[in-house]
Structure formats: structure tokens, C-alpha cells
Amino acid sequence: MRTKRFLKTQAIAASLLAPFAAPVLAQDLSVDTLIKGGTVYDGSEGRPFIGDVAIGGDKIVFVGPAGKTRFNAKKTIDAKGMIVSPGFIDGHSHSEHFLDNPNAQQRQAPAYLTQGVSTVIIGVDGGGLPELKDQFAKYEQQGVGINMASYVGYGTIRKRVIGNDARAPTANELATEKELVVKGMCEGALGLSTGLFYAPQSFAKTDEIVDLAKEAAKRGGIYDTHQRDESSYSIGIIASTKEVLQIGREANIPVHFSHIKALGKDVWGKSAEVIKLIDDAKAAGQNVTANHYPWTASQTYLESALVPRWVIDGGYAAMIKRFDDPALMPRIKTEMADNLRRRNGPHSILFTVQGRPWTGKYLDEVAKEWKIDPIDAAIRILRQTQNEFIVSFNMSQHDVDNFMRQPWAVTSSDGVPGHPREWATFSIKYADYVKKRHVITLGFFIRHSTGLAADMYMLDRRGYLKTGYYADVLVFDPNNYAPKADFVHTDLPSTGVLDLLVNGALAIDNGKMTDVLSGRPLLHAPSAGTCL
């Protein structure tokens, strides 16, 4: 794509042909792109400096104080007054719908690029495929705009081997599940992801997960989890946190909490207790980390939020069948009402999927319109839709701030269509939490969105502005970097990203998206001798 060596050759040729040219010409460093005079945050804990960053091919070839080195650059970006940092890394993304898209513009993953994100972690919540090579080969062949790394997902595996039933695997089934974890790990997965909150993954007992996590551990992987309970649904957030730590200890694997939060009124304020459990485990030598998103509203499926798990046993059709059984309805409704209370009542559930009669309305508004009880309204919607996404306002600002400040928590979007976090997570974290509310500093924000994340996800030569590292480089305007998406218009691009290079190519050039598809699959190398 780029003629990396052209300018170097040209510079040498010019100096040979013109012996009376300024002698400094031969010493100029020939590069493809020079980002000049910006405020450089290199992804480490070091202090920012006014500096130059130069790129040749897909690598960073120079990072240093401004003006000390002379360059012969094919393209120069004047970054005076701008922030220059590594491209952001999204620790928990559902960007597959962009990456798999038949439309090349969609495959650029505009939601991510326009926030400054150059790398996403996918296959989360137990959703990753064991056939990673095929998936990544397709991305490489069709071209995508961002880099991605993936987990192998427990949910995919359990559904294939056991289906939707609420039971433990037989010995044979467990062996098959293990084989699929091994397959994923040996095809380059970062580790094993689970979403134990969701049926049918919720039907797994701890020992089954430990057995599978051991296979990921042997191959140098990590355990990433949307834990069993972030609230008071089943075992409660404290017991659930302990379960994650137990899985880490017993499988001898680093554990990573996905979108760590305290969800629902019953557990508001519990962030302190969760943080203490994690800090104690770390002090005892365990490797524990997390990602989090800067929103007090989550997003999930209507059935996951409100319907008890025993009602979902067997899948959607089985749920509808139970709705049709008048003998069961009183208990179902009572338990659904309790789940709704837990989530802050009917005015905390917002429908954002486009094109429905209830789009843009809260559950209480829909119920009022239909002149029925909110639970009956929810059941009516459940009967008409499967996996209806909802936005659920259920977190306390105090807990969100508290998790964000932890030295072991990196940024993630958990982005899905219908919640502004897909288009505006990194920009809102900067605009609201750094600039407006001063919850964290700019340096903390960048470190926890770049280098620290690259370390946690074991991404080879990513996340830092260092010579020899891949050129994922972001230039943004500290005065204009801000979200535009909100809960009404969830898919508006953020403002203020001026330039974003992905593997050395400009995906955003002077504030505008190019049509470059320079993202790459990032494969984890399994421990030597574990994949024969």
C-alpha cells in the first residue's frame, strides 16, 4: 500500500546528484508520516512531552522531543496544541457486526475509528468462535478498518455441545467442550471468555468453568468474564466476585472482569467491597484486572433483564410456552416484578431498537399507552420479539467513578447498536470524566485506554508510542474531542479526532474518514509446545 523506502532512496539519490546541497539533507530521516510538535502521551506512566512521532511503513520509527531530529516526510501532520497518543484499545467490544459487514464502509468500523479506537477485543461474554483462523482469514481477505483480538467463548461451546438445557455436561460432553477451548486457543485466542449471567451459560457450575479455564491457562491465555451476577439476581455480586477469583486460583489463570459494575439499587455502593476483594486477591499474588465503561446505563436483552432463568430454560420457544401456562403466570410475574424493581422500575427501561412501535419509549410509557401493567407490557413485547435490546438505567455514578479510578481497570465500550456507548465511550470518558468532572486525569485516561490495556491483553508491540512498535497513532484536539451520540441518537460520530493511523495508514485524515482498510487480526501465541 505504501512505498516505504521510496523517499529514503530519493533523499540519498538527491544528495549524490547535488554535492552542493545543504549537508544536513543526507542526515534527514526519511519517513512516510511525521506528526510534528504535538503533546505526546506515549501510553506509559511517563509524563507527556512536546514531541515528534514519525512513521515508516507500518511501524513507528521515531518518538522524541520536537525539533531535535530533521525529517524528510512524505506527509507532515502539524500537531501543535494537539494530543498525540497510541490509538485506543477497546477492552470489550461487540464490533463483529461491523467486521462481518458486506459493506466496506461499515467494515471500517466508523463507530470505533471516530472515537480514536484502533484495536478492539471481540469474542466477549462467551460469544467467541473456536474457529478463529477462518474468522480472521475472512477479515483479512475482505479488509477491516481496525485491529481485533478475540477470545474463544464458553457460550458458543456450551450451546454446541449441550444446547439450551439447564444441566451439567456428561464426561464426554466436558471432553468435547475442552477440545473446543483448545482449538480456539491454538488458533490464536487471547483466552476463554464467559457470560455466566446469560442462559444457557448460567447453567454451568463453577467446576465446569474451572476445568475449561485450565485449558486456556496451559496455553498462556486469560479468563475474561461477564460474571454470574453483577447485581442481586442469583448469588449476588459479592459471591459472584468471589467465584471469579476462585476460578482464577483453581485454574491458575489471570482473571479479567468485563464491564465491572454494581447493577441495580440493591447493590449500589458495593463497588468498595468488590474493589477490596480484588485488591486483597492481588495482594495475595493473584493476577486480577478489569475493564469498565463510563455510563450509568447498561444495555442487555429484555428477557435477560426481567425473565427468571428457569423460565428461559430450553430457549425462547420454551419461554413462550411457559407464558401460555396460566398455572405458572402468577409466579413468573411476581419474579419479573422483582427483577424490574431491582433495575429501578419501569421508568429505567428504555427501548432503543429502531423501527418498533415502542422505539424511544420507556417501559412505563408503553404500559400507559396500552393501558396495562408494565410487566404485562414487557411480556407482550417478549412475545413479539426475541432478544430485544434495551437500555437500562441502573448504576450509581459513585460506583462508576469508583471502578474507573482503579489502577487495574481499563476502558471498554461494550458497544452494541442502540446505546450511545458504541459511538461515544472514549469521547465521553474524556469530555465528562476528565475535563468536566475531574474524576481522572488526562494521563490516566490515555494510559488506561492504551498501554495498560495492551499489557493486559498481551498485544505484541501495540499500545505504546515506541520505536519498532506498530504505528497505531491517534491525534486529537483536546478542545473538541467530545461525544455527539446520546440516548435519542445513539449512532452519531464523536468529534475531535483529527488523525488516526492504523498500522501506519491514515484511517482518519484531517478529521475525515478515508477508505483505508488497514486493520489486522492480532493473534495470541499459545505457550510453546501446547498446541501439537
Residues of the shown chain interacting with Zn ion in the complex, contacts defined by CB under 5 A: 125, 226
CB of 258 to Zn ion, least distance (A): 6
Q: Quick one: 96 or 125, whose CB is closer to Zn ion?
A: 125
| Least distance to Zn ion, CB of residue 301, Å | 11
Q: CB count, 10 Å around CB of 406?
A: 18
* Beta-ladder partners of 191: 222
| Nearest residue (CB) to Zn ion, 87 versus 415 | 415
Enter the C-alpha cell of residue 153: 467463548
To Zn ion, the closest distance from the beta carbon of 515 in angstroms equals: 32
Of 274 and 502, which CB lies nearer to Zn ion in the complex structure?
A: 274
Q: Is there a contact between 298 and 387 (Cβ–Cβ < 8 Å)? A: no
In the bound state with Zn ion, the residue whose beta carbon lies nearer, of 114 and 193, is 193
Q: How far is the CB of 110 from Zn ion (least distance, A)?
A: 23
How many CB atoms are located within 10 Å of the residue 359 CB? Answer: 12
Spatial distance between the Cα atoms of 32 and 436, rounded to a whole number of angstroms: 37
- Measured CA to CA, the distance from residue 109 to residue 114 in angstroms comes to 9
State the residue for C-alpha cell 486483597.
280
Q: Is the dihedral of CA 439, 445, 447, 450 positive or negative?
A: positive
- Closest CB 299 distance from Zn ion, rounded Å: 9
Least gap, CB of 177 to Zn ion (angstroms): 20
- Looking at residue 484, its amino acid is K
Least Å distance between CB 98 and Zn ion?
A: 18
Q: Which three cell numbers stand for residue 467?
A: 520505536
Spatial separation of the C-alpha atoms in residues 476 and 424, rounded to whole Å: 14
Name the minimum Å distance from CB 133 to Zn ion: 25
Q: Are 458 and 339 in contact (CB under 8 A)?
A: no
Q: Which residue is nearest to Zn ion (CB)?
A: 226
The single-letter DSSP state of residue 433 is I
Q: What's CA 269's distance to the chain center, in Å?
A: 25
Q: Between 300 and 490, whose beta carbon lies closer to Zn ion? A: 300
Burial classification of residue 325, based on how many CB atoms lie within 10 Å of its CB (0-12 exposed, 13-18 middle, 19 or more buried): exposed
The residue with cell 455436561 is 169
Q: Which is nearer to Zn ion, 263 or 428 (CB)?
A: 263
- 309 or 447: CB nearest Zn ion: 309
CA-to-CA distance for 352 and 368, rounded, in angstroms? 18
| Smallest distance from Zn ion to CB 161, Å | 21
- As measured in angstroms, the least distance from the Cβ of 310 to Zn ion is 21
The order of strands in the sheet holding 88-90 is: 88-90, 117-122, 147-150
Question: Smallest Cα–Cα separation from 258: which of 290, 235, 231, 289?
Answer: 290
Query: Closest CB to Zn ion among 49 and 301?
Result: 301
Nearest approach in angstroms of CB 195 to Zn ion is 6
Q: CA 363, CA 13: separation in Å to the nearest integer?
A: 71
**Residue 165: CB partners within 8 Å, gap ≥ 6?**
200, 203, 313, 314
CA distance linking residue 147 with residue 336, whole number of Å: 40
Which one, 125 or 208, has the nearer CB to Zn ion? 125
Q: Which of 17, 113, 30 is CA-nearest to residue 69? A: 30
Residue showing cell 440516548: 487
**Position 259: which residue type?**
H
CA neighbours closer than 13 Å in the CB half-sphere of residue 146: 35
Q: How far is the CB of 397 from Zn ion (least distance, A)?
A: 20
Specify the residue, 125 or 472, whose C-beta has the smaller distance to Zn ion. 125
Q: Which is nearer to Zn ion, 34 or 409 (CB)?
A: 409
Q: Which is nearer to Zn ion, 97 or 368 (CB)?
A: 97
